[in-house]
């Protein structure tokens, strides 16, 4: 694995401002079910009365959009450079979730002039009033772009599976973030576990490694079991929590949502804080 840009991570500011809870959901490798967790968690939070948006920051993949069965007409790039409004780039899903597709807009943040930054600030204030939760669906791995999204978010969920490659790559991601003191604690969700015992073993394996070698605290947010319902829901482009609420995966997803809701004590920094960090981080690396 290649080391990330040192300046990108050293410039992270841990200041908290009021606003939406901005949570980056990431993983060390692809194919672990990260986007599926994002979509179903968003739907469950919305069902409980929270206003939820997804920032699809998995550039070029758009998995969250596919899983919700929608195609956003505009992206963040269109807001920044093509004169579209915040409302125009918000894509509504049938499940009540709003999506903002990143497009190439995120990587252009460092090049914004003063007027564009002011306009972005006004738009972000508007978003902070709209949403309680913003889930950032990042790419996988330790690319500079992924690390920027994770570093800028105030909270992080790392998705792992019991597969050795997933654990190794997730450890590599956490190691990088720990090295540059980006987050001193991270939440973990174990996906595709055979049962609770395997999920606990998987989490404990990761916790043991990080506790021994890294200065980071892991929080066990819960697990999702292997469940054929999940596969069927993906084929139908529906969240499994909606298609089969009584399924084992749905029941466990509800527990994860409960843990997430009750686990935050500090005041969230908001979308403005998140984008402020992104601009500084991407600007440092340019």
Task: Tell how strand 21-27 and strand 133-140 pair up.
Answer: parallel
Cβ atoms < 10 Å from Cβ of 7? 13
Query: pLDDT tens digits, residue range 24-59?
Result: 999 999 999 999 999 999 999 999 999 999 998 876
Predicted pLDDT at 93: 93
Task: Tell how strand 91-92 and strand 98-101 pair up.
Answer: antiparallel
Q: What is the pLDDT confidence band of residue 266, given thresholds at 50, 70 and 90?
A: confident
3-state helix, strand, coil in the chain (%, to 5): 50, 15, 30
Which has the higher per-residue pLDDT, 3 or 149?
149
**CATH number of 6-285: 3.80.30.10, 3.20.20.70, 3.30.1490.20, 3.40.50.300?**
3.40.50.300
CB neighbour list of residue 179: distance below 8 Å, 6 or more residues apart: 9
How far is it, in rounded angstroms, from Cα 160 to Cα 81?
A: 36
Predicted pLDDT at 107: 63
Q: Give the DSSP letter of residue 189.
A: E
Query: pLDDT tens digits, residue range 164-221?
Result: 999 999 999 999 998 888 899 999 999 999 999 999 999 999 999 999 999 899 999 9
Predicted pLDDT at 43: 97
Predicted pLDDT at 15: 34
Query: Alpha carbon 28 to chain centroid distance?
Result: 13
Does the pLDDT value for residue 4 go beyond 80? no
Rounded to two decimals, the pTM is 0.89
Extents of the domains making up the chain: 6-285
Tokens 């599976």 map to which residue?
161
Does the pLDDT value for residue 150 go beyond 70? yes
Helix axes 164-179, 144-152, angle to 10 degrees: 70
Mean of the pLDDT values across residues 79-83? 86
- Where would I find the H helices in the chain? 6-10, 34-47, 63-68, 76-81, 86-89, 114-130, 144-152, 164-179, 196-213, 228-235, 240-243, 248-262, 270-285
Dihedral sign computed on CA atoms, order 50, 51, 54, 55 = negative
Mean of the pLDDT values across residues 75-87? 88
Does the pLDDT value for residue 85 go beyond 80? yes
How far is it, in rounded angstroms, from Cα 36 to Cα 110?
A: 30
Which has the higher per-residue pLDDT, 125 or 25?
25
Query: pLDDT tens digits, residue range 160-170?
Result: 999 999 999 99
**pLDDT over 70, % of the chain:** 88
How far is it, in rounded angstroms, from Cα 83 to Cα 81?
A: 6
Mean of the pLDDT values across residues 142-154? 88
Predicted pLDDT at 47: 96
CB distance 58 to 69 below 8 Å: no
Predicted pLDDT at 284: 61
Predicted pLDDT at 7: 46
Does the pLDDT value for residue 67 go beyond 70? yes
Which has the higher per-residue pLDDT, 135 or 13?
135
CB distance 199 to 28 below 8 Å: no
How far is it, in rounded angstroms, from Cα 195 to Cα 198?
A: 5
Q: Name the average pLDDT for the chain.
A: 87
Q: What is the pLDDT confidence band of residue 61, given thresholds at 50, 70 and 90?
A: low
How far is it, in rounded angstroms, from Cα 196 to Cα 162?
A: 12
Q: What is the pLDDT confidence band of residue 19, given thresholds at 50, 70 and 90?
A: confident
């Amino acid at each position: 694995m290649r080391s990330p840009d040192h300046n990108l991570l050293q410039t992270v500011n841990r200041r908290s401002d009021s606003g939406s809870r901005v949570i980056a959901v990431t993983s060390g490798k692809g194919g672990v079910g990260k986007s599926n967790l994002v979509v179903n968690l968003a739907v469950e939070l919305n069902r409980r009365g929270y206003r939820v948006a997804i920032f699809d920051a998995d550039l070029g993949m758009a998995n969250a959009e596919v899983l919700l069965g929608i195609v956003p007409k505009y992206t963040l790039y269109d807001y920044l450079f093509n004169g579209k409004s915040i409302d125009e780039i918000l894509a509504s899903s049938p499940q009540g979730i709003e999506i903002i597709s990143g497009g190439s807009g995120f990587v252009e943040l460092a090049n914004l002039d003063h007027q564009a930054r002011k306009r972005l600030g006004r738009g972000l204030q508007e978003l902070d009033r709209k949403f309680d939760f913003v889930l950032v669906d990042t790419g996988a791995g330790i690319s500079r772009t992924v690390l920027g999204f994770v570093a800028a978010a105030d909270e992080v969920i790392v998705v792992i599976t019991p597969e050795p490659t997933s654990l190794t790559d997730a450890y590599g991601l956490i190691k990088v973030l720990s090295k540059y003191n980006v987050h001193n604690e991270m939440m973990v969700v174990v996906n595709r576990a055979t049962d609770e015992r395997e999920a606990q073993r998987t989490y404990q394996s990761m916790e043991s490694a990080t506790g021994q070698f890294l200065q980071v605290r892991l929080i066990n947010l819960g697990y999702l079991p292997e469940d054929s319902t999940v596969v069927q829901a993906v084929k139908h482009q529906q969240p499994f929590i909606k298609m089969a609420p009584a399924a084992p995966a749905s029941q466990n997803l509800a527990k994860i949502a409960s843990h997430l809701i009750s686990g935050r004590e500090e005041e969230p920094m908001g979308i403005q804080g998140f984008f402020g960090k992104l601009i500084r981080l991407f600007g440092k690396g340019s």
